[in-house]
Amino acid sequence: MHSTVIVGAGPAGMAAAVVLARAGEHPIIVDEAEQPGGQVWRKPAAPLQPALARILGRAAAAEHEQAHAEFASIAASVDHRPRHLAWNLQGGELFVIEHRRIRPLRYGALLLATGATDRLLPVPGWTLPGVFSLGGAQTLLKDQGALIGRRVVFAGASPLLYLAALQYKAMGATVVAVLDTTALPEKLRATPALAAAAPRVLARGLSYMARLRAGGVAIFHGVTALGIEGQDYAERVRFRCSRGAEHDLAVDAVALGFGLRAETQLLDLAGVPLAFDVDFRQWLPIVDGDGRAAPGLYAAGDGCTIGGAAAAAISGRLAAYAILADRGVAVPATEVAMLRARLARLRAFQRALSRAFAWPAHWLADARDDTVLCRCENVTVGVVRAAVAAPLGPREVNRAKALTRCGMGRCQARFCGLATAELMAHALAAPVATMGRHRSQAPVKPIPLDATLVDEDTP
């Protein structure tokens, strides 16, 4: 039995480990990646380390370095297990796999800091080579200093479009345009709430836009009818601007960013209830303010509520204090109160952002029938629509999966599930929450068949 196991070495998991280690604990932290950092604080390959500030921008690089320095300072007290996938959670055991060795881990407390992935929206051509998710485009950059293309369009509904576009520009890419699907008035409406919650973060975001404009990058707001075309890879992006004019841009790569979706499978496997969040338009686990999900089970970071890296780190610390407090260890009350207040502000900011950059789920109402919806099983929008319209057709997503294979493949509907629910809701003229969510089944990600079970204590 290990006292505390943390899943995920991103901002939330790292921050929680720091609190636990400083309280004299020796947590295990399992993580899929080679190095700690998660997505936001991803460490570049060693030769790129000196270029960090150039890649990320100075402010982000400073936060990045501080987080890693703090985590490094507790290295001796933490059992960090990189390249470990936590693939199942059952009966008080967390099953992890590392290079074909499956190990069950028993724990006193389990903190799930599993983060988020990009949320995808199927637009025509989105599965063409050269089209990346925004997070994928940033991962390439941070991890390898590589770019997805030389002439890149950043499109979608996300404030991170502007940051990524700047990062790409700084690295020498031609940013052909930023195509923001949200309208300017919507964003202006959200500004007071954003300014109230986190003025500095807002200022930083606005400066990204200004710097892009100053650098001659075209920014379009209120973009509709977005589609990507090309013979064998992305060659053109077509869209309609807010004035109604049709545009056609030559590109060799496209990054699509439609916000984030929480990775909730392990919480779901543990039986933690999820509720539909109307702002983030996705299912999020029901936990208390400090991340308590069930006895002995805690959640923090974007896998719990979309909040961004700063909020993730704070929620990680709060969850660590909750673990300690639930064990009867005294925790610093003033600090906890301060963390709660900061977390509330940052999450309110993110909630306001989610309204300003609402993902255009209504596009699915008029999505073309031949658009791929589930890329793993190559199921189109038309196939799901036809199933819904048939006698005794599906009325929620799991049934649609059973009948059409939509969401049945490698990603287990992690990437098509939200869009499928929106599509069905439009087809049935029903609220999206009534379309349900895909039930999680192990493994969280595919594991090799030739894996074998080894004893918990086998090295």
Partner 1 sequence: MTVLRVNTAIVGGGLMGCWTALMLRRRDPGHCVCVIEKGKVGAQASGVNYGNLRIQGRHPGQLPLSLRAASLWERLPDLIGEGCEFDATGHLYAARDDAREIAKVETAARQASEAGLATELLDARALAQRWPWLNGFSMASWSPRDAIANPRLVTPAVARAARAHGALIHEDTAVHGAARTGAVFRIDAAGGLTIEADTLINAAGAWAPEVAGWFGEGAPIVPAGPPQFVTDAVPYFIRPSVQAVDGTVIFRQVRQGHVVVAGYPRSPSDPVANRAPVDARKIVNAMGHLLRAVPALEGATLLRVWSGIEGYLPDMLPVIGPSGTTPRLVHAFGFCGHGFQLAPGVGDVLADLVLEGSSRTPLDRFSIGRFADGSAEVAEHFTREFDRSLQVQAVAHPGAQRTR
Stretch that binds partner 1, among 90-98, 225-233, 320-328, 363-371 (CB under 8 A): 90-98
The reply to whether 391 sits near partner 1 by the rule CB under 8 A is yes
Among 96, 102, 141, 435, binds partner 1 (CB under 8 A): 102
Between the alpha carbon of residue 279 and those of residues 262, 284, 350, 354, 355, the distances in Å are 13, 11, 10, 6, 6
Q: How far apart are CA 159 and CA 154, in angstroms?
A: 11
Among 171, 218, 325, 447, binds partner 1 (CB under 8 A): 447
Q: CB of residue 132 vs partner 1: minimum separation in angstroms?
A: 22
Among 128, 348, 403, 433, binds partner 1 (CB under 8 A): 403
Q: How far apart are CA 235 and CA 176, in angstroms?
A: 12
Asked if residues 373 and 419 have their Cβ atoms less than 8 Å apart, the reply is: yes
Residue type at 127?
A: T
Q: Which is nearer to partner 1, 38 or 394 (CB)?
A: 394
Q: Which is nearer to partner 1, 39 or 88 (CB)?
A: 88
Q: CB of residue 437 vs partner 1: minimum separation in angstroms?
A: 16
Helix 160-170 crosses helix 134-144 at what angle (to 10 degrees)? 40
Size of the site for partner 1 (CB under 8 A): 30
User: DSSP string covering 117-183, please?
Assistant: EE-----TTTTSTTEEEHHHHHHHHHHHS--S-SEEEEEES-THHHHHHHHHHHTT-EEEEEEE-S-
The reply to whether 402 sits near partner 1 by the rule CB under 8 A is yes
Stretch that binds partner 1, among 125-133, 303-311, 340-348, 406-414 (CB under 8 A): 406-414
Among 69, 214, 330, 392, binds partner 1 (CB under 8 A): 392
Among 412, 420, 421, 426, binds partner 1 (CB under 8 A): 412
Q: Which is nearer to partner 1, 90 or 174 (CB)?
A: 90
Q: Which is nearer to partner 1, 68 or 405 (CB)?
A: 405
Between the alpha carbon of residue 434 and those of residues 271, 398, 426, the distances in Å are 20, 12, 12
Q: How many CB atoms lie within 10 A of CB 390?
A: 10
Q: How far apart are CA 440 and CA 404, in angstroms?
A: 18
Please report, as ranges, the residues that interact with partner 1 according to CB under 8 A. Answer: 88, 90, 93, 95, 102, 104, 377, 390-392, 395, 399, 402-403, 405, 408-410, 412, 441-443, 446-453
